[in-house]
Chains A and B, each alone.
Chain A
Amino acid sequence: MNIPATTLPSPAEQGLNLQGIGSSGEHVAAQPAIEVEGFNAWYGDYHALTNMNIVIPEKRITAFIGPSGCGKSTFLRWINRMNDLVPSARATGTLKLHGQDLLDKATDVVELRRHVGMVFQKPNPFPKSIYDNVAFGPRLHLRMSRGELNQIVEQSLRRAALWEEVKDRLKSPALSLSGGQQQRLCIARAIAVGPSVLLMDEPCSALDPRSTAAIEDLMAQLRNDYTIAIVTHNMQQASRASDYSAFMYQGELIEFGQTEQVFTMPKSEQTQNYITGRFG
Chain B
Amino acid sequence: MNALMKNTPNARSGRFFKDHLFVIVCLLAAGVCIAVLGVMLASIIVQGMEHLDTQLLQNPPSRKPEKAGIYPAMIGTVYICLVCAVTAIPLGVGTAILLEEFKPRQRTLARLHGVVQLNITNLAGVPSVVYGILGMTAFVELFQVLGSPSDPIWTIGTTDNWYYIQLPFGRGVLAGGLTLMLVVLPIIIISSQEALRAVPNSLRQGALALGSTRWQMVWGTTLPAAIPGIMTGTILAMSRAIGEAAPILIIAGVVYITFTPEHLMDDFTAMPLQIYDWASRPQESFHHVAASGILVLMAILLTFNAVAVIIRQKFQR
Contact = CB atoms under 8 A, between A and B. Distances in A.
A124 B210 contact: no
Given A127-B225, A136-B220, A140-B216, A120 B210 contact: no
Contact of A87 (B105, B203, B212): B105
Interface residues of A, number: 27
Interface residues of B, number: 20
Contacts of A111: 211
Contacts, number: 64
A87 B206 CA distance: 18
Interface stretch (A62-70, A186-194, A241-249): A186-194
Contact of B209 (A87, A122, A127, A190): A190
A179 interface: no
Interface string A114-138: 1001101010111110000000110
B144 interface: no
A80 interface: yes
Interface in B183-224: 200, 202-213, 216, 220-221, 224
A113 interface: yes
Given A127-B224, A128-B224, A110 B211 contact: yes
A85 interface: yes
Nearest to A114: B211
Most buried by A among B200, B203, B207, B210: B210
Contacts of A82: 205, 208-209
Most buried by B among A111, A114, A124, A141: A124
Given A127-B225, A128-B224, A140 B212 contact: yes
A124 B206 contact: yes
15 contacts: A82-B205, A85-B204, A111-B211, A114-B210, A114-B211, A120-B202, A120-B206, A120-B209, A136-B207, A136-B210, A137-B211, A140-B212, A140-B216, A141-B211, A186-B206
Interface of B: 105, 200, 202-213, 216, 220-221, 224-225, 317
